[in-house]
């Protein structure tokens, strides 16, 4: 069997943790930051993990090599 191709758009947006969880950065922090309070901006800095098992499985299928 040949090599599997990675979906490049997914590879740029999602990373797999060591335990295999799908991690991603939250959207909505690139502009209009003055109307967002400090607590909200701080929470947007952190990486989120994907909660839905079905969606995580779909993302993992597009990242064959992690």
pLDDT of residue 39: 95
Q: How many domains does the chain have?
A: 1
What is the C-alpha to C-alpha distance for residues 62 and 58, in angstroms, rounded to an integer? 7
* Residue 62 covered by a domain: no
Domain boundaries, position 37: 8-53
Whole-number pLDDT of residue 49:
93
In a domain, 2, yes or no: no
Which helix (DSSP H) or strand (DSSP E) does residue 14 occupy?
strand 14-16
Element (H, E) at 9: helix 8-13
30 part of a folded domain: yes
Does residue 57 contact residue 10 with C-beta atoms inside 8 Å?
no
Per the structure block, which two tokens stand in for 21? 């969880």
How far apart CA 12 and CA 15 sit, in angstroms, is 8
Give 6-28 pLDDT, tens digit per residue. 999 999 999 999 999 999 999 88
pTM score, two decimals?
Answer: 0.78
């Amino acid at each position: 069997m040949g090599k599997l191709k990675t979906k490049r758009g997914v590879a740029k947006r999602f990373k797999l943790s060591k335990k295999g969880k799908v991690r991603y950065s939250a959207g909505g922090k690139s502009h209009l930051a003055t109307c967002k309070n400090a607590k909200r901006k701080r929470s947007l800095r952190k990486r989120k993990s994907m909660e839905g098992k079905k969606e995580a499985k779909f993302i993992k299928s597009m990242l064959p090599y992690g």
